[in-house]
Chains A and B, each alone.
With several copies, the nearest count.
Chain A
Amino acid sequence: MKVLDFIVCSNEPLNDQNHLIKVVPANNEPMPEMFPGQFVQILVKNSPNVFLRRPVSINNVDLANNELWLLVKRVGEGTEKICKSSTGDIMNLIFPLGNSFTIPEEKCTTLLIGGGVGTAPMLFLGKKLSEKGYNVNFLLGGRTASDILQITDFEKYGNVYCTTEDGSFGEIGFVTDHTILQNNKFDFIYTCGPKPMMVAVAKYAVSKGIECEASLENLMACGFGACLCCIEKTVRGNICTCTEGPVFNIKELTWLD
């Protein structure tokens, strides 16, 4: 873990709410190794109402350019300010934080399900899995076509399936309605997105006996295990999402109880 100033090298709006922000370390030193599922804590400056840092997943690590990618959705003042950053701005990060998704021992068929901005960590995960020779399938869900982000990036690393609630892109309905869930066989499912979606995915995985990991977005104060605010009630008791998560095997969670 480090506290480090980065420089914003680009900030691209992907739709009316989501921005892809690429940053490089200000001192240009090589970044430490990072793993899919890990996140950063962003310091939000210039805001009268934002006091705490904001947690954001690692969307991609571009080693060639020493770039870190962040996919950020505007939901409140913190993410609003982050989405307003301009090229050249300094962004202070604590990183890398949290555990990471499990890479199964055996090369196998994986399904990465992301809903909304929950697709963010799936890109980095898919990339790593594909580099290691796994069969990678992405299932991305949104309300409407414009919610499906970074599709050309995803296509580099695996098959991409989509659902939209209004049917404007991919199949109509929720991710768990997609036909590949009926037609294809998967060995490992990863999911990140709104809780109802993740619960539905978890139910599916349990019903099929498939290993499944979910990435949680609990409210955090510190992000590195010091405050005990971000706990998730698990079969092992209250556990910190920021250090022992954000990735949990769904068997650990008490969601389906």
Chain B
Amino acid sequence: MAGLEVQIGDLKFKNPVTTASGTFGYGTEYKDFIDLGALGGIFVKGTTLEPRQGNDYPRMAETPSGMLNAVGLQNKGVDYFINHLYPEIKDYDTNIIVNVSGSTIEDYVTTAEKLADLDKMPAIELNISCPNVKEGGMSFGVSCESAAKVTRAVRDVFPKTLIVKLSPNVTSISEIALAVEGAGADSVSLVNTFLGMAIDIESKKPKLSTITGGLSGPCIKPIAVRMVWEVYNTVKIPIIGMGGISNWQDAIEFILAGSTAIQVGTYNFIDPTASVKIIEGIEEYLDRHRITSVTDLVGQMRI
């Protein structure tokens, strides 16, 4: 049986399959469907310093092989998380990683500081790439300077594993990756959603209350795989790849392109058991190809 363990920063994952922030709630939403302890990790919902009501309805539109969302980081704030959600989830037998968002660098820093104190919170994922909030969010992720600045600021206060989640809405994602690596990130995760929109042609109104929103799902997979490959050829820190993964074949594709671990996002909505099926599929593939450790597959596309 092939070894599935991978390491990101100081953090060991029992396998490379984790679930993407904003698509897996706090894990509890899925406990009827799967054994959460089977997962490599869970990236919980984007968390901000202050509570956020998110955007108005409608927040969702279906698109060819994907969907647009405009949730806008609805969450009850980091203090509520620490006091009410963390106690419930901290003993899951998997890595729980909070996805941290903010409008200012101070937001990110304060939130990270608060989370750093939690025993069972070994890592955070810095979301500098959310397209669904007016201020901050994605704007940090689209320039090297601001991406590096917010990473450095959080790095200074957060001693555990720091993952920075990159926006795909840029000319060169590898430059941004290089900038956050230089600023001390232990890992980059990519991609967040693509900025998109859809119009209801009969009412002539945008399908999302915010006009534009984030595109996710299988439709974005070819672009996401390319970005992982570009970043893999640019930085040394491990990559957590995602974007449209819906089965083990997709997961292997992201690993071959250079992902040390992967996240399953939107597809959880269609098959809430997808993540555990992917773990099994990866294992069988490795055995069939006589690969003893999944780490031997990372970036091993043949060119």
- A224–B272 CB distance below 8 A: yes
Is the CB of B88 closer than 8 A to any CB of chain A?
Answer: no
Interface locus among B50-58, B117-125, B151-159, B225-233: B50-58
Which residues of chain B are near A94, meaning CB under 8 Å? 272
Is the CB of A250 closer than 8 A to any CB of chain B?
Answer: no
**Contact partner, A52, options B24, B54, B62, B273, Cβ 8 Å:** B62
Is the CB of A221 closer than 8 A to any CB of chain B?
Answer: yes
- A221–B69 CB distance below 8 A: yes
What is the bound-complex CA distance between A220 and B60, given in angstroms? 7
Q: Mark B16-51, 1 if CB is under 8 A from A, else 0.
A: 000000111100011011000000000001000000
Which residues of chain A are near B53, meaning CB under 8 Å? 237-238
Is the CB of A116 closer than 8 A to any CB of chain B?
Answer: no
What is the bound-complex CA distance between A56 and B25, given in angstroms? 23
Is the CB of A1 closer than 8 A to any CB of chain B?
Answer: yes
Interface of A is mostly: loop
Return A98 CB to nearest CB of chain B, in Å. Answer: 13
List residues 62-103 of chain B with CB under 8 A from any CB of chain A: 62-67, 69, 71, 74
Which residues of chain A are near B62, meaning CB under 8 Å? 50-52
Q: Mark A218-230, 1 if CB is under 8 A from B, else 0.
A: 1111111111111
- A219–B60 CB distance below 8 A: yes
- A3–B272 CB distance below 8 A: yes
Given A51-B66, A226-B269, A229-B69, residue A1 in contact with residue B217 (CB < 8 A): no
- A53–B71 CB distance below 8 A: no
Return B215 CB to nearest CB of chain A, in Å. Answer: 12
Return A77 CB to nearest CB of chain B, in Å. Answer: 10
List residues 37-52 of chain A with CB under 8 A from any CB of chain B: 43, 48-52
- B23–A3 CB distance below 8 A: no
What is the bound-complex CA distance between A218 and B66, given in angstroms? 19
- B24–A1 CB distance below 8 A: no
Is the CB of B59 closer than 8 A to any CB of chain A?
Answer: yes
Which residues of chain B are near A237, meaning CB under 8 Å? 53
- A226–B57 CB distance below 8 A: no
What is the bound-complex CA distance between A49 and B217, given in angstroms? 13
Return A87 CB to nearest CB of chain B, in Å. Answer: 25
Is the CB of B271 closer than 8 A to any CB of chain A?
Answer: yes
Q: Which residue of B lies closest to A78 (CB)?
A: B62
**Contact partner, B71, options A49, A228, A232, Cβ 8 Å:** A228
- A52–B67 CB distance below 8 A: yes
- B269–A231 CB distance below 8 A: no
Return A229 CB to nearest CB of chain B, in Å. Answer: 4
Is the CB of B293 closer than 8 A to any CB of chain A?
Answer: no
What is the bound-complex CA distance between A2 and B30, given in angstroms? 10
Given A2-B32, A226-B24, A237-B53, residue A221 in contact with residue B269 (CB < 8 A): yes
List residues 253-288 of chain B with CB under 8 A from any CB of chain A: 266, 268-273
- A51–B272 CB distance below 8 A: no
Q: Which residue of A lies closest to B57 (CB)?
A: A231
What is the bound-complex CA distance between A228 and B29, given in angstroms? 12
What is the bound-complex CA distance between A132 and B58, given in angstroms? 38
- A227–B23 CB distance below 8 A: yes
Return B54 CB to nearest CB of chain A, in Å. Answer: 6
What is the bound-complex CA distance between A49 and B218, given in angstroms? 10
Q: Which residue of B lies closest to A224 (CB)?
A: B29
* Top 5 A-B residue pairs of the complex, sorted by shortest distance between their CB atoms: A229-B60, A222-B269, A1-B32, A226-B29, A226-B25
Q: Which residues of A contact B (CB under 8 A)?
A: 1-3, 43, 48-53, 94, 218-233, 237-238
CB<8 Å pairs between A and B, sample of 23: A1-B32, A2-B33, A43-B270, A48-B64, A50-B62, A51-B63, A51-B66, A52-B67, A52-B269, A52-B270, A218-B58, A221-B266, A222-B29, A222-B268, A224-B29, A225-B25, A227-B22, A227-B60, A227-B269, A228-B54, A228-B71, A229-B60, A231-B57
Given contacts A51-B64, A52-B269, 12 further A-B contacts (CB under 8 A): A1-B33, A51-B217, A94-B272, A218-B57, A220-B60, A222-B29, A224-B272, A226-B272, A228-B22, A228-B59, A228-B74, A230-B60
